[in-house]
Amino acid sequence: MSREQLAVERARRAFSTGRSKPLAYRIRQLNNLRRFLVERQSEIAEAAKKDLNRSEVGIQLFETLGLESEIQLVIKNLKKWAAPRAVEKNLVTLSDTLYIQPEPLGVVLVIGAWNYPWAVTLFPLIGAIAAGNAAVVKPSEVCVHTSKVMEELLNAYLDKELYPVVTGGVQETQELLKQRFDHIVYTGNSMVGRIVMEAAAKHLTPVTLELGGKSPCYIDKDCDIPLACRRVTWGKFTNCGQTCIAPDYVLCEASIQDRVIDEMKKCIKEFYTDDPKSFLDYGRIINERHFRRILAMTEDSTVAVGGESDHTECYIAPTILRDVKAGSKVMQEEIFGPLLPIVPVSGLEGAIDFINQGEKSLVIYVFSTDKKLINRLIEETSSGAVLANDCLVHYSVSSLPFGGVGNSGMGCYHGKFSFDQLSHLRSCMVRPLKNEGMNSMRYPPHTPGKLGWARFFLVQAPDLALMGRVGALAVLVAVAGILINVSTLTPHPVPQVWDAPPKKTELTWLPIQTPSREHHCSDAFMCALMLLCSLCRLIVR
């Protein structure tokens, strides 16, 4: 039995014991994972520095801080997410108990990527643990030092049998993919994504694929161009451009191309100084193969800014390409590096046409102050996400699903979406062993009369929710009517008090000032009216 097969078998046996299912156990494992991120921050940062030339502050800002926040969110909401979920009934199921029960899938395989090795590996792991699964973690072999830290230290905090870390290269990954899993989460490129999906199909295993792609960025000529260029520059060159949701290329009208280039040049200098190579927060290309691949993309394009490189350090300066054509080398695949092509278009319509001619991307960026323009781009294109007037930050919002569509992937995760993606949402229906009269319409012989009753209950049945609201309205109207009637008809005795008698033999009754019958009637009517208005609002909603 291979090392990979042994890890999967152990995880499956551990899952079969049921110890991953209790909420208390899941929360304890999540707390252990959070403790790992805090206590081992120095080892995590050191490995990231060796692999990607990332600073300790950078690794926290772009990876571990988000993971800590995700764990906190999951622990806070896990009891609610894992609880049975009530569903709507109809006339046929009125006396039944209907609900959806989330349950663990089993053993999940998480295959991470090298560009953000902690975030893209541990975000799905958090969801797998929260949903009560076992999970085999396969970090990217490209990040050698990070992979080693993950293997050596992560299992010191988590259950070694339920959440094993398996390291290695292509051969080890292929061996893992031969095993049967209950779900596979893969982050990477579309070429490997197809291999993962093909392997999963042999076992009918569902997959979540986060594949990236060429994410476009349209800059409207009437927007705040300096601010737009500042945000695009940050989004593009963060992590040396090795971000799956980085703006891959810019679309803008030819009339503003020079201004866009000038503004981005200023931002590059502001962010990374005149010498990005020696700047602490500017990274490196992950290896020499990717270094050569990225440089080859510039061969048939005009460099407007940057272009410097050093193969001994896998360094490529922040580079902007101008007047790029659709057929250029840099436009044939996802760049995944510090090159930013600018493609002149005729305007919004030209940008939409250009976007729709390519594959669906992981995200589309647009910079504009015109809400109609933004809405039109959303309505006339398709992508995993749309972000207007900023870059990258939608990834940090746990209430939004993160995922692609078409060539950019399938499935999603983050927050509750991770929990649901890695759970089986089991339909549950409990019927009383009575009320057989209702069932007679389904039993032979099948007659037109029975068909008529079935049509009434299943097709022509009234909306039970609306019926409930109308019934409540009727009750309130009846109560209001009774109150008004009682207020109008019931005589109100007039309280009286003794006043000092003018004479010993005479007594005088003086009435106290009290509300009239009409006043009582008005109060009751207003109370009923307010109740009716409140119910009308509920019905409208």
User: Within a 10 A sphere around the Cβ of 38, how many other Cβ atoms?
Assistant: 9
What residues have CB less than 8 Å from 479, skipping those under 6 apart?
Answer: 528, 531
Q: Is there a catalytic annotation at residue 210?
A: yes
Cis check: omega of the bond before 445, within 30 degrees of 0: yes
DSSP per-residue string spanning 157-182: TS-TTTS-B----HHHHHHHHHS--S
For 191-284, strand residue ranges (E) read 207-210, 216-219, 249-253
Expressed in angstroms, the distance from the first to the final Cα of the chain is: 60
Is residue 217 annotated as a catalytic residue, yes or no?
no
Pick the closest to residue 28 from 122, 103, 129 (CA basis). 129
DSSP-assigned states of every residue in 347-394: SHHHHHHHHHHSPPBS-EEEE-S-HHHHHHHHHH--BS-EEESSSSGG
Q: Please tell me the distance from the alpha carbon of residue 121 to that of residue 138, in angstroms, as a whole number.
A: 8
Joined tokens for residue 419: 């929990």
Set 244, 252, 267, 412: catalytic member: 244
The strand pair at 249-253 and 207-210 is best described as unpaired
Segments of 192-241 assigned E as strands: 207-210, 216-219
Question: Is residue 302 within 8 Å of 323, Cβ to Cβ?
Answer: yes
Q: What is the enclosing helix (H) or strand (E) of 496?
A: strand 496-498
Q: Which two tokens stand for residue 274?
A: 């005149």
Burial 359-389 (b: 16+ CB within 10 A, else e): bbbbbbbbbbeeeebbeebeeebebbbbbbe
Q: Which of 161, 210, 253, 334 is catalytic?
A: 210
Q: Are strands 409-410 and 207-210 parallel, antiparallel or unpaired?
A: antiparallel
Residue type, 170: V
- Taking alpha carbons only, the member of 166, 124, 117 closest to residue 146 is 117
The total number of residues shown for the chain amounts to: 541
Tell me how far apart the alpha carbons of residues 219 and 254 are, in angstroms, rounded to a whole number: 11
Angular region, 44: left φ>0, alpha ψ -120 to 50, beta rest: alpha
| DSSP code string of 420-473 | HHTEEEEEEEE--S--HHHHGGGSSS--HHHHHHHHHHHTS---HHHHHHHHHH
Q: What angle do CA 370, 374, 377 make, to 5 degrees?
A: 140
Residue with tokens 């290695």: 168
Q: Which residues are catalytic?
A: 210, 244
